[in-house]
Structures are given as structure tokens and as C-alpha cells.
Amino acid sequence: MSDRVSLRTFVVLVEDVPGVLNRVASLFRRRNFNIESLSVGKSHEPGISRMTIVVRGDDRMGRLVEANLYKVVDVVRVDDITHRPNVSRDIALVRVRATPADRAAILQVCSVFRARVVDVALDSMMIECTGTEDKIRGLVTLLEPFGVLEMVQAGSIAMTRGASAQSASAQSDAVEIDSGDDDDVDLTDEAA
């Protein structure tokens, strides 16, 4: 356990009831925990939503975040997966200025990052990119010279690797498969 401040990722299962996001967000504000990212959506269980919350803090803060989250009655389960093998993904849409002359170069950048072009207009393109924060930042850095017109990024979603994602004891021996999972290959350096 360290006092080092780092990003910490929590997977939080909550009852799918009105106001639950408000309660969780209110807790973070009241306790002065700084949210880096929060995303919420469906889980595999009916009636249960799943939040992925990323905060910046040390281990003590991590424990306090977890203990405080449990005080929200609608919270069913909290897992701090920071120190467990996990896959974490962000998604971003980027609209970039694209003159006919630049298109080929942009497409090439996209292919290095395995980003997809999802819309093309006369003088711009919209690109979808999924991956780690780093990867998205890398892509955007390379697109900037063309002129980024608009960008949106959603909060991280995360899941532990292995058979039973929900069980803390299930730090399974499952082989970490990276084949085809391009996003775990850090492309930022080679691309930048």
C-alpha cells in the first residue's frame, strides 16, 4: 500500500433507481473527492446499473471512497480494481478539418490507431476511437495539425480480466489475451 497519488478505478454496481447518479455524484462533491471520470450504464443484471468511477488519490483515499460509496443505500457493490488486471476503455469522437488533400494522411493516422472514420463531409471527417485515455490523447495529438474542430470523449468503462469479474478473489489465472486487442499495445510512442 502506498501513499502515492494515482488514478484509481472503481467499479460500482447500483440499483437502477431514479436519482442514483445524483446521490453518487453528490457524495463525491460533499467529500471533496475529485472525479476524473464517471460513466454509468447498464450491467448484465436487470435492475442493476454499473458505474465506472476514476478518481485521483492515494490508497487511504481509495479506502475512504469505497467506504463512503457503501453508505449510499442504492449502492450494491464496490470494487476497487486499481491494482487488479483490468481492461479500461474510453471512447471518443473527433471532428477534424479534412481538405481533400489531407484526407489520405488522416486516414493513415486513423489506421495506425485503428480508429474508424464514421462520417465524411466536404471539408471535415468524424473519427471514432476506442481505447485507453493515452491512446486517444495520442490520436488527437496527431490530428491537431489538421485542425480539430470538435471532440467528445466519454468516461472510462472498465472490467477486470479473468473469469469472474465481480469477485475479488477471482484474480483468476486466465491467460491475458492481447491478440486482436490492439488497444493494449501502446501506440502512442511509435505513432507520435
Partner 1 sequence: MDGSDPSTEVKRGAEAMWEALVAEGVEVVFGYPGGCIMPAYDVMPRYPVRHILCRHEQGAAHMADGYARVSGKVGVAIATSGPGATNLVTGIATAMLDSIPVVFITGQVPSKFIGTDAFQETDITGVTIPITKHNYLVTRAEEVYPILREAFELARSGRPGPVVVDITKDALQNVCAPVAPKPATSSKRPSRAKRGLAPSKPISEHDLDRAAALIASAQRPVILAGHGIVRSGSTELVTQLVEKCDIPVGLTLLGLGGFPATHPHALGMMGMHGEAWVNQAIQEADLLIALGMRFDDRVTGNLATYAKNAKKIHVEIDPAEVDKNVRVDVALIGDLKEVLERLLPRVADKKHAAWNAALGAKRAEVAPIDIVNTPHDGRLFAAHVMHDLYRLTEGKAVVVTDVGQHQMWEAQYYKHDHPRGLVTSGGLGTMGFALPAGIGAAFAAKEKEVWIIAGDGGFQMTAAELSTCVQDGIKVNVAIINNGYLGMVRQWQELFYGGRYVATPIVSPDFVKLADAHGLPGMRVTKREEIPAAVAAARATDKTFVVEFRVEAEDAVYPMVPAGADLHDMIRRPSKNNGGAK
Instruction: Name the site residues for partner 1 (rule: CB under 8 A).
Output: 18-19, 22-23, 26-27, 30, 60, 63-64, 66-68, 70-71, 73, 75-78
Supply the minimum distance, in Å, between the C-beta of residue 27 and partner 1: 8
Supply the minimum distance, in Å, between the C-beta of residue 33 and partner 1: 12
Supply the minimum distance, in Å, between the C-beta of residue 34 and partner 1: 17
Query: Cell for 19?
Result: 436519482
Which of 69, 140 has the CB closer to partner 1?
A: 69
Which of 61, 148 has the CB closer to partner 1?
A: 61
Do 69 and 10 meet the contact criterion of CB atoms below 8 Å apart?
yes
Do 188 and 131 meet the contact criterion of CB atoms below 8 Å apart?
no
Which of 24, 115 has the CB closer to partner 1?
A: 24
Question: Max CA-CA distance within the chain?
Answer: 57
Which of 16, 102 has the CB closer to partner 1?
A: 16
What is the rounded CA–CA span in Å between residue 55 and residue 25? 12
Query: Cell for 176?
Result: 491475458
What is the rounded CA–CA span in Å between residue 75 and residue 69? 7
Supply the minimum distance, in Å, between the C-beta of residue 14 and partner 1: 11
